[in-house]
Amino acid sequence: MQHVQAARNFHNEHPMTPPELDPNVTSAIENSFAKQGLMTTIGAELHLVASGEVRLRINARESLTQHHGFLHAGIIGTILDSSCGWASQTLMPLGTEVLTVEYKLNLLRPAAGSNFEGRGTVVRAGTTLTAAEATFYTTNDPDRLIATMTATLIGVRPQSSD
């Protein structure tokens, strides 16, 4: 057995300084965000769009609680699913739309706090399917994970584009 080396992570195919993102892709994601009625309903904010990574933010509010007053797991799932979806879209050809095939959410701690961020990153961008992962935490303690997600997404070319 050898000694442990530097930590490696799921994101290792994507360098620290990601390539520039096509502004049209950013606009497409902003448009997609604007079209989601649910994002307005829950007060989500599109915080960062980068190559292979998207971050959303959301604040705690009475209207989003579970029975102990914490942010509902369904909202955590919503934020992370969406961040995975748009992160995947950043690495797809312009005009591709993204559908979630499946996701799994592990809830590590109660979502106590007032300001939260969900960060979705692409693990592997394939021709048909993309694997992504996401983490959820409070903005003042990003290292204390509240939840993690792994997701599979599929890119679809809209039929109306022909």
Interface with its own copies (CB under 8 A), residue total: 79
**Min CB(8)–its own copies separation in Å:** 7
CB 136 to its own copies: min, Å: 11
Give min distance, CB of 60 to its own copies, in A.
10
Largest Cα–Cα separation, the chain: 57
35-63 in b/e burial notation, b at 16+ Cβ within 10 A? eeeebeebebebeebbbbbbbbbbebeee
Q: Which residues in 110-149 contact its own copies (CB under 8 A)?
A: 110, 119, 121, 123-124, 126, 128-129, 131, 133, 135, 142-145, 148
Strand locations in 36-146 (E): 45-50, 53-59, 97-107, 115-125, 129-138
Q: Does 2 bind its own copies (CB under 8 A)?
A: yes
Token pair 């797991």 in the structure block, residue:
73
Q: Which of residues 30-69 bind its own copies (CB under 8 A)?
A: 32-33, 35-38, 40-42, 46-50, 53, 61-69
Report in angstroms how near the CB of residue 87 gets to its own copies at its nearest.
Answer: 11
